[in-house]
Amino acid sequence: MDALIFGAPGIVWLAAGLALYMAWTIGANDVANAMGTSVGSGALTIFRAVVVAGILEFCGAFLAGGHVTDTVRKGILVADFAAGHEPLIVYGMLASLMSAGTLLLAATRFGLPVSTTHAIVGAIVGFGAVGLGVDSVVWGKVAQIVVTWVTSPLIGGVLAFLIFNLTRYLILDREAPMAQARRIGPIFFFVVFFVISLVTVFKGLKQLRLHLDFSEAAGVAALVGVLGALIGRFFLRRVSEQPDPTGSDRFRQVEKVFVVLQILTACSVAFAHGSNDVANAIGPLAAVIQLSRGAAYAAQASVAPWMLVVGGVGIVIGLATWGYRVMETVGRKITELTPSRGFSAELAAALTIVLASRLGIPVSTTHILVGSVFGVGLARGIGALDLQVVGKILVSWIATLPLAAGLSIFFFYFFKGLLSP
């Protein structure tokens, strides 16, 4: 068996192909979340959203994806159980990529935003339980993943609800919203630049291990925030106000301010997503390559630049080909979005990512973003939400992990039968 598996270039090529497939489905489903609100609010067209997100996701994946990656996401498997079972690990990693990618493909087909991390974790749980034994799975980690089904949308939704109501109170509900935006708009710019700096440091550049503590990162973010406030002040002074605006026209100019803020926040989330979630595709690939060289299984493996390229290119292709399906669900089908509502959702998502990263709370970026859209809708009343769409999304979240595990078991035995002597 060892002679057929290890050192066989065909296995590496197969793993690379499946990693590209997985990255493609990540781009089609997960990446669309970052730009879905921008498309739904009209801040960006689908074409522009694909171009912007594609560039930032690839840059995040390639430049900040890290030189070392977890071979198994979230430490779901006990490494000691893998010793002496390297061929089974290879079959399992191939099965994980195939099953998670297939699940994401099906979810994207129906426009359902699901967590790619949950998909790959469910797949690893499936092959680990049948291939290495039930005790090889760290069930406490799995329980933490289940907790994210509640914590992620709840935190994002509550923050989005509060941010939108605050925005409405401070600007939108005033008699002269544009004049009010000129007065306090720089504060909004400061907050946005401050938050996206923290997202970039704690999430986007996490793989580079900068070793900044919170006070150091906050100091850098504050300086960037001041710069953002100055830019915002310069920008707002040059926005001319229409004379005697009435009706809905009085909101058009102020919504343009939120277009800028929303796009900036969405871009930071896209960059952070690319740098982190590329590991869902290249982690199993790195493990297969590590084992193909005769090394023992380890929780982490080195990453060659070409692996990051495979992940980044796959994500961009997926976004460009099928990303519009999930964008439409997140941006248009859950609730009606305007730039100010989309901004509230994006800022809430970014804040949640920062808070969760520092407090160690398990969260899902996908669930955060969708939960933030829920919160913005609820700020206008339950009738502003399409409850049928919300129900389908919630069911898909609960079903992701067990479905991925079931598919992984099938593909594990498939690859084992196909590749073992």
Confidence bin at 148 (pLDDT 50/70/90): confident
* Residue-level pLDDT at 241: 59
Q: Which one, of 136, 83, 145, 135, lies nearest residue 361 by Cα?
A: 145
pLDDT of 1 reads 42
Average pLDDT, the chain: 88
pLDDT of residue 408: 97
Is the pLDDT at 251 greater than 90, yes or no?
Answer: no
Q: Residue 39 pLDDT > 80, yes or no?
A: yes
pLDDT tens digit sequence for 191-215: 999 999 988 887 767 666 667 778 8
Give tens-digit pLDDT for 317-340.
Answer: 999 999 999 999 999 999 999 999
- pLDDT exceeds cutoff 70 at 5: no
Going from the C-alpha of 140 to that of each of 76, 134, 143, the distances in angstroms are: 9, 13, 5
Instruction: Give the number of other Cβ atoms within 10 Å of residue 244's Cβ.
Output: 7
Secondary structure string (H, E, C) spanning 162-213 = HHHHHHHHHHHCCCCHHHHHHHHHHHHHHHHHHHHHHHHHHHHCHHHCCCCC
Average confidence (pLDDT) over 175-204: 89
Q: What number is the average pLDDT over the span 238-258?
A: 69
What lies within 8 Å, CB to CB, of 99 at 6+ separation is: 119, 123, 126, 404, 407, 408, 410, 411
pLDDT for the residue 178: 87
Domain edges within the chain:
2-419
Q: Does the pLDDT of residue 3 top 70, yes or no?
A: no
DSSP-based three-state secondary structure for 134: helix
- At residue 295 the predicted structure's pLDDT band, cuts being 50, 70 and 90, is confident
249: pLDDT confidence band, cut at 50, 70 and 90?
Answer: low
Residues 100 and 18: beta-carbon distance below 8 Å: no
| 367 half-sphere exposure, CB direction, 13 A CA radius | 26
- pLDDT given at position 6: 46
Say whether pLDDT at 77 is over 50: yes
Give the distance, in angstroms, between the CA of residue 325 and the centroid of all CA atoms in the same chain. Answer: 16
Backbone torsions φ then ψ of 140, nearest 5 degrees: -65, -40
pLDDT at 34: 79
pLDDT surpassing 60 at residue 7: no
Q: Is the pLDDT of residue 279 over 80?
A: yes
* pLDDT given for residue 127 in this prediction: 94
Task: Give the global pTM.
Answer: 0.90
Contact 281, 29 (CB under 8 A): no
Are 297 and 291 spatial neighbours (Cβ–Cβ below 8 Å)?
A: yes
Please count the CA atoms within 13 angstroms of the CA of 123 that sit on its side-chain side: 31
3-state secondary structure 240-285: CCCCCCCCCHHHHHHHHHHHHHHHHHHHHHHHHHHHHHCHHHHHHH
What does the pLDDT look like over 296-316, one tens digit per residue? 777 778 888 899 899 999 999
pLDDT given for residue 2 in this prediction: 46
Q: Which residue has the tokens 């040059």?
A: 238
